[in-house]
Amino acid sequence: MIVAVPHQATDQATDQSADQSTDPAPPRTARLHRPLTVAEAVEILADGDAEILAGGTDLVPALRARQREPRRLVALRRVLELRSRGASANMLIIGAGVTYHDLTGWSLSPGLAAMARVVGSPQIRNTGTVGGALGTANPRGDLLTFLSAVGTEIVINSARGARTVDVASFLATGLAPTELVTAVRLPRPCGPQVYLKIGSRQAASAALVSCALVVDRVHERVTCAIGGIAHQPTRPAAAEEFVRQGVDWSTGTIPADVVAGFGELVAEAAGAVPDPLPDDVGVSAAYRRHAAGVLAARAVGRCLPAAAPGAIPGSAGPGSAGPGSAGRFRS
């Protein structure tokens, strides 16, 4: 039996010495499965000690650096049934093998398309998949923030059958090693959707803070998710309710003080998460909380036009009940 031993990090300097013929500890990965169907894939996963290879943008570098050494790999590139996407009257269904590039320009979901367009670089968008983003569940993942805002069901298959779980529970509990994310189901858009993020360089690093905001003109609702604050996207429930009451749904406009108050409530919610991500180098948690409020106010302002001053009576406008200092979060 060969035991994996700790291996020094592979970087540019040690690249040549990492040549496999001189490597003292051979990689543990011994088998690659390339199933053609979901049924084949979950059967292989049922045997255990296997990692799923979706787009490879996270896993392949980790394999190369020997941060991960699964005994077996299950590559999904040839499972064509995972690459489909479609819509019913009120739902969108997207296969786990759909790439960001495939979502770019998808007319059925302009918000999702706009989000996909700002993920990483063309190289990453051409390979990274919906299922891969969920499997990796990077707290800074763009897609996770968006799916959390719209309210998404994750379809999971295993050899024992299929189950469906909402995205928040999925991110809280994760996948069993024998399970495979096969699709996501989300409501068809019923209004404007915006995805905004702040970071250093889009193509080379994940967003520090992200905000997805979804307006539902039919059900008169605004939902919002903030990424980069906690280990999974944060849904600021109080802020969502505040803005729902503050919008004039007959005209779809929003008073400036509601926009500002919304930003403050989102920043407040970001400060109250039970499991905040630690301070980054040069980027404090306090900055990220502030940025969350700025992004949320900007997002709602982009989705809903400003109400004409005085259009909403002060007594009826719930905006008057919100936190003060209107305009503080306007950029």
* Alpha-carbon distance values, 39 to 14, 160, 235 (Å): 41, 10, 35
Residue with Cβ nearer other proteins (73 or 229): 73
Cβ proximity of 213 and 114 under 8 Å = no
Residue with Cβ nearer other proteins (69 or 248): 69
DSSP code of residue 297: H
Q: Which of 38, 45, 52, 53 binds other proteins (CB under 8 A)?
A: 53
For position 160 contacting other proteins by CB under 8 A, the verdict is: no
For position 182 contacting other proteins by CB under 8 A, the verdict is: no
Q: How far is CA 313 from the centre of its chain?
A: 38
Residue with Cβ nearer other proteins (65 or 273): 65
For position 14 contacting other proteins by CB under 8 A, the verdict is: no
| Residue 190 Cβ vs other proteins, minimum distance, rounded to whole Å | 29
Q: Which of 60, 162, 168, 230 binds other proteins (CB under 8 A)?
A: 60
Q: How far apart are CA 104 and CA 115, in angstroms?
A: 8
For position 205 contacting other proteins by CB under 8 A, the verdict is: yes
What number of CA atoms fall less than 13 Å from residue 37's CA on the CB side?
A: 4
Residue with Cβ nearer other proteins (36 or 218): 36
Q: Which of 38, 45, 63, 307 binds other proteins (CB under 8 A)?
A: 63
Q: Which of 7, 43, 46, 69 binds other proteins (CB under 8 A)?
A: 69
| Residue 120 Cβ vs other proteins, minimum distance, rounded to whole Å | 7
* Alpha-carbon distance values, 302 to 19, 103, 172, 215, 330 (Å): 52, 22, 30, 11, 12
Q: How far apart are CA 256 and CA 22, in angstroms?
A: 66
| Residue 138 Cβ vs other proteins, minimum distance, rounded to whole Å | 13
Residue with Cβ nearer other proteins (178 or 202): 202
Q: How far is CA 96 from the centre of its chain?
A: 13
Site string for other proteins, 112-141 (x = CB under 8 A): --------xxxxx-xx--------------
Q: Which of 4, 14, 17, 36 binds other proteins (CB under 8 A)?
A: 36
Q: How far apart are CA 162 and CA 151, in angstroms?
A: 19
Residue 149, helix vs strand vs coil:
helix
For position 272 contacting other proteins by CB under 8 A, the verdict is: no
H helix and E strand count, the chain? 11, 11
Cβ proximity of 72 and 51 under 8 Å = yes
Residue 227, helix vs strand vs coil:
strand
For every residue of 180-195, DSSP letters joined together read EEEEEEEEPP-S-EEE
Tell me the chain's radius of gyration from C-alpha atoms. Answer: 22
For position 223 contacting other proteins by CB under 8 A, the verdict is: no
Site string for other proteins, 80-109 (x = CB under 8 A): ---------------------x--------
What residues line the site for other proteins (CB under 8 A)? 10-12, 15, 19-20, 26-36, 40, 44, 53, 55-57, 59-61, 63-65, 69, 73, 75, 77-78, 101, 120-124, 126-127, 201-205
